[in-house]
């Protein structure tokens, strides 16, 4: 049954493509040209004047069509990286696995990628190495625009915008899917997930961020294939984790990840701790992620350490519960549990050292902050992790009345400290030594 569906889907994709795109005009795609980065437009124009094809592609076209503000603008072209470099003064070729050109225009960086063939090379030559399970290890064949469209993950991510003509080229039915707010894989989901299991996480991220309905055949596969993520390096999962948590829809993403068995893949100990059925743990994560979403949406800074500290907290709490009461001081107990939690987490996601240090600091400062400001609170407040630890306490306090007094006391202490030290001795400027 499922198989038939996939075949039908992929036939539909083939029929629609055949190398001939649907050309979508302004009245239909609705892109507001003033939302298009001038730098990206400039790069396209220079490439076109140089005799090449060039388009704005990927997430930026999707976001423009949805009336969202794109994060960055990527360009795809038939020019090779060296040919791109010849056209621009400020251009660098980067990447080992797949070479790209980075073009600098004013203060903007525009990524220019040459069309890639994907593994469906017409000549049948193996430009791509694949594992027995179908995972793509290397994918470095140049291709044509229609091949490039097909190697992308979702139809919504595979639209090509030509700013010189103000048209969108659609090889995969992406425009219709965008209108229907539908997230659909290009090709057979089972194959595409096996090629690159990170697409499982990308599916959830885009569904949550764009508030799209996943194509049912694809959605149904995600829990079945979740364990393919075992093969993904912990370093790549760290990067993907940040994208999931800082998308501006982290709360919804978290629910979807849990629902699809992906939280278990990324944060197995958190998933197990949540199954203990302590509703306050789940509540804490939801509130904290809602808060992160708020910050992202209003352009405030967010830190990976904070989001990771939030997601791993239920496991830390579980470990604390398992310690013999009274055996360690609260701070020591937290230090022990923090190290254990970080050690376990490192098996699936490798958190760079400086972030891990910060996460640990956020946790082990909690007992000190819970006790409220004592003498010389400015010493505590001047620590680098203070602000994050204080925010963390604030989120915990939202559902724990006993913490509210301490949190408010720290809020007052900071206000006093910020306005206070005008009469404190200023750091003397060091005089330049004479030679
Ligand atoms: P965001 O707005 O989060 O940056 P994006 O769609 O731009 O979303 P990127 O990760 O920046 O996502 O990738 C740019 C484009 O490259 C995507 O739109 C997609 O077409 C293609 N792409 C990226 N990762 C993959 C992947 N794992 N498999 C297939 N295509 C991919
Ligand atoms: Mg992008």
281 catalytic? Reply is: no
Query: What is the per-residue DSSP string for 39-97?
Result: HHHHHHHHHHHTT--EEEETHHHHHHHTT---S--EEEESS-HHHHHHH-SSEEEE-SS
| Cα(31)–Cα(175) distance, integer angstroms | 12
Q: What is the pLDDT of residues 408-432, one digit of tens each?
A: 999 999 888 776 554 444 444 455 5
What's the whole-model pTM score?
0.88
Q: What is the pLDDT of residues 115-161, one digit of tens each?
A: 998 655 444 455 566 777 777 766 668 889 999 999 999 999 999 99
**Using a 6 Å CB cutoff, which residues line ligand 1?**
58-59, 71, 74, 152-153, 157-158, 196, 198-199
pLDDT of residue 428: 45
User: Average pLDDT in the 91-98 region?
Assistant: 88
pLDDT of residue 415: 87
C-alpha angle 105-86-89 in degrees, rounded to nearest 5: 35
User: Average pLDDT in the 193-209 region?
Assistant: 97
- Cα–Cα distances (Å) from 166 to 33, 40, 68, 157, 208, in that order, read 8, 13, 18, 18, 29
Q: From ligand 2's centre to the CA of 148, what distance in Å?
A: 16
Average pLDDT of the chain?
Answer: 90
pLDDT of residue 9: 53
Q: From ligand 1's centre to the CA of 207, what distance in Å?
A: 14
Ligand 1 atom at minimum distance from 63 CA: 2
89 catalytic? Reply is: no
Query: What is the per-residue DSSP string for 224-268?
Result: HHGGGGGGS-HHHHHHHHHHHHTSS-HHHHHHHHHHTT-HHHH-H
Bridge partners, residue 213, by sequence: 182
Point out the catalytic residue in the list 63, 78, 153, 391. Answer: 153
166 confidence band (pLDDT: 50, 70, 90): very high
Q: What is the pLDDT of residues 324-336, one digit of tens each?
A: 988 999 999 999 9
């Amino acid at each position: 049954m499922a198989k038939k569906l996939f075949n039908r889907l992929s036939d539909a994709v083939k029929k629609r493509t055949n190398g001939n795109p649907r050309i979508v005009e302004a009245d239909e795609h609705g892109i507001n040209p003033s939302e298009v980065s001038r730098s990206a437009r400039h790069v396209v124009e220079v490439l076109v004047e140089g005799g090449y094809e060039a388009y704005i592609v990927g997430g930026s076209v999707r976001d423009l069509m949805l009336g969202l503000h794109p994060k960055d603008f990527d360009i795809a072209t038939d020019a090779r990286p060296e040919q791109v470099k010849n056209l621009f003064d400020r251009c660098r070729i980067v990447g080992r696995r797949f070479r790209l050109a980075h073009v600098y225009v004013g203060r903007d960086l525009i990524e220019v990628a040459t069309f890639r063939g994907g593994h469906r090379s017409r000549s049948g030559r193996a430009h791509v190495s694949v594992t027995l399970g179908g995972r793509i290890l290397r994918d470095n064949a140049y291709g044509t625009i229609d091949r490039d469209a097909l190697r992308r993950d979702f139809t919504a991510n595979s639209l090509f915008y030509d700013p010189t003509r103000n048209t969108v080229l659609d090889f995969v039915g992406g425009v219709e899917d965008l209108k229907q707010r539908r997230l659909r894989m290009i090709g057979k989901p089972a194959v595409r997930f096996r090629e690159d299991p990170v697409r499982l996480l990308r599916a959830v991220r885009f569904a949550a961020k764009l508030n799209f309905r996943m194509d049912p055949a694809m959605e149904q596969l995600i829990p079945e294939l979740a364990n393919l993520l075992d093969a993904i390096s912990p370093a790549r999962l760290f990067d993907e984790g940040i994208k999931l948590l800082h998308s501006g829809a982290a709360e919804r993403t978290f629910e979807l990840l849990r629902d699809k068995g992906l939280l278990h893949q990324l944060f197995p100990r958190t998933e197990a701790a949540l199954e203990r059925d302590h509703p306050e743990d789940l509540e804490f994560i939801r509130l904290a992620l809602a808060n992160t979403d708020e910050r992202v949406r209003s352009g405030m800074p967010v830190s990976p350490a904070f989001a990771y500290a939030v997601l791993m907290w239920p496991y830390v709490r579980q470990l604390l519960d398992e310690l013999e009461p009274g055996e360690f001081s609260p701070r020591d107990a937290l230090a022990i549990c923090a190290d254990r939690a970080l050690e376990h987490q490192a098996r699936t996601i490798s958190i760079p050292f400086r972030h891990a240090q910060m996460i640990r600091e956020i946790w082990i400062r909690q007992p000190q902050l819970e006790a409220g400001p004592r003498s010389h609170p400015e010493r505590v407040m001047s620590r680098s992790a203070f602000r994050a630890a204080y925010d963390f306490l604030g989120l915990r306090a939202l559902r724990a009345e006993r913490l509210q007094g301490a949190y408010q006391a720290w809020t007052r202490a900071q206000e006093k400290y910020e306005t206070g030290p005008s009469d404190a001795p200023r750091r003397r400027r060091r005089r330049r030594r004479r030679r």
